Homo-oligomer: A and B are copies of this chain.
Amino acid sequence: MSTTERSRVRRLPDRASYDRDTIHAILDAAPVGHVGFVADGRPVVIPMLFGRDGDDIYLHGSAASRLQRSMARSLDVCLTVTLVDGLVLARSAFHHSMNYRSAVLFGRAEAVPEAEKERALRAISEHLIAGRWEEVRPPTAIELRQTAVAKLVVEEASAKARRGGPVDDEEDLALAVWAGVLPCAPVWGEPVPDAQLPTGTPPSPSVSALRG
């Protein structure tokens, strides 16, 4: 991954990083990415499932019919993932902010060859819930053909994050209002068994592990 004018973080550059491990960690923690592409000269952004196997990033194409159709040829895309970590509540409206981590990857989406599809789908599955792939029936050849997957050939990438408490103006510190951070995190709830599951079937190890 390289850095040019396109991916260089211009606003608040002290919040930026171009480190591969930092970018991968943000990708790995986000269940959904937002993929942007240009259709008829105008921007389209679609939420997509994705996965990573080493440096290879795969996009689950079924969510994006337009993307699917375009994938016969390679297509410029931007994959952005964002983790909201908390609200930063200052004493003035102006200094309110958000703690977050985000990664922005520029590249080209290319169709995944049939021979690579199972690896790609496994990466997407592992990304969402590690270990599940081994517990369930693997895809048949017909199912693989029916599933569109794209590989994101990354050209540039950057990460950005804000952490810590509010930064208030000195003269606002005496204001009688609570200030600080309200943390936010996605939480997995109680598993809801399928109606046709035999009563008493325990959640599989992948489900229990994800709930921690």
A193 touches B177 (CB 8 A): no
Tell yes or no: A54 within 8 A of B by CB. Answer: no
Tell yes or no: A78 within 8 A of B by CB. Answer: yes
A32 touches B98 (CB 8 A): yes
Tell yes or no: A183 within 8 A of B by CB. Answer: yes
The oligomer's copy count stands at: 2
A residues contacting the other copy or chain, number (CB 8 A): 97
* Contacts of A72-107 to chain B: CB distance below 8 A: 76-80, 82, 84, 86-87, 89-94, 96, 98, 100, 102, 104, 106
B42 touches A6 (CB 8 A): yes
Residues of chain B within 8 A (CB-CB) of A140 are: 94
> What residue in chain B is nearest A85 (Cβ atoms)?
B189
B129 touches A89 (CB 8 A): yes
Task: Evaluate whether A204 and B186 lie within 8 angstroms (CB atoms) in the complex, with A43-B76, A165-B195 already known.
Answer: no
Residue contacts A-B, CB under 8 angstroms, 15 given = A6-B39, A6-B44, A31-B87, A32-B100, A36-B45, A36-B78, A42-B76, A43-B44, A46-B80, A87-B129, A96-B125, A96-B132, A165-B192, A180-B193, A183-B191
